[in-house]
Structure formats: structure tokens, C-alpha cells
Amino acid sequence: MHAVSVRSRRLPGNKGIARDISLTGVEIEGGGVSAKLDAPPPIQIGEKFSITLDLDLINESITVLAEVVWVKRRPQFAFEAGLQFIEIGESEKNLLSRYLAKVKAALDRFL
């Protein structure tokens, strides 16, 4: 799937990459190679914060409130986390649906 930039003040360097997106949540990775591998992940399960997803394929961004549901330390990119959307407006949901449809159409053409 197309990588999507994730922005939030709660993430190291204020950014991360979304690797798996749905209408209900997102899996992100962050920290980069400069992150200390022995340090605890910068976000914790149960933590809630706003994230902005840059949906470049449709030239739009959405901001949602998300809750951390799992976190894993990863040597390659410092950490991965699963975030569940707990507040997403109707217009943001529509933009996300449009983005996901465009990604699916591109994958269908490729396969």
C-alpha cells in the first residue's frame, strides 16, 4: 500500500509513516534509525492524541483523535503502533474512503 505521512506532536520528530490504514484505524512506524533502541517506545497503550494523515493520492489531509491500542519496539524503525480512531468527522471519513478507493483501484490495475 502507498505510504502515508502521519504528523503529530506526540511522535518522535513530529512524524511517522502509516503502513496500514482502514476506516477505523492505522498502523504506524516511527522513530527512525537515530532512535535509541533500548529506550521505551515514545507512546504508550491507552494514550490518546490527534494525528494528521497526509493523503497525497487525493491531495488532502485529515486530522483525527486516535488511541494507541498496541506498541512494539522494532530495531529497523524504532517502533510500530496500532492506533484506533476514536473521533473522526463525517467529512474526514468521506475523504479517507475516497483515498482507500483510489488505492484499491491502483492496486487492481497493477495486479
Q: What is the pTM of this model?
A: 0.86
Give the pLDDT band of residue 50 (cuts 50, 70, 90): very high
Contacts of 80 (CB under 8 A, 6+ apart): 19, 27, 28, 29, 71, 72, 74
Q: Which range among 34-43, 49-58, 71-80, 83-92 shows the weakest confidence by mean pLDDT?
A: 34-43
pLDDT of residue 74: 74
Q: Is the pLDDT of residue 38 over 70?
A: no
Q: Is the pLDDT of residue 43 over 70?
A: yes
Domain 4-110, classified CATH 2.40.10.340, yes or no: no
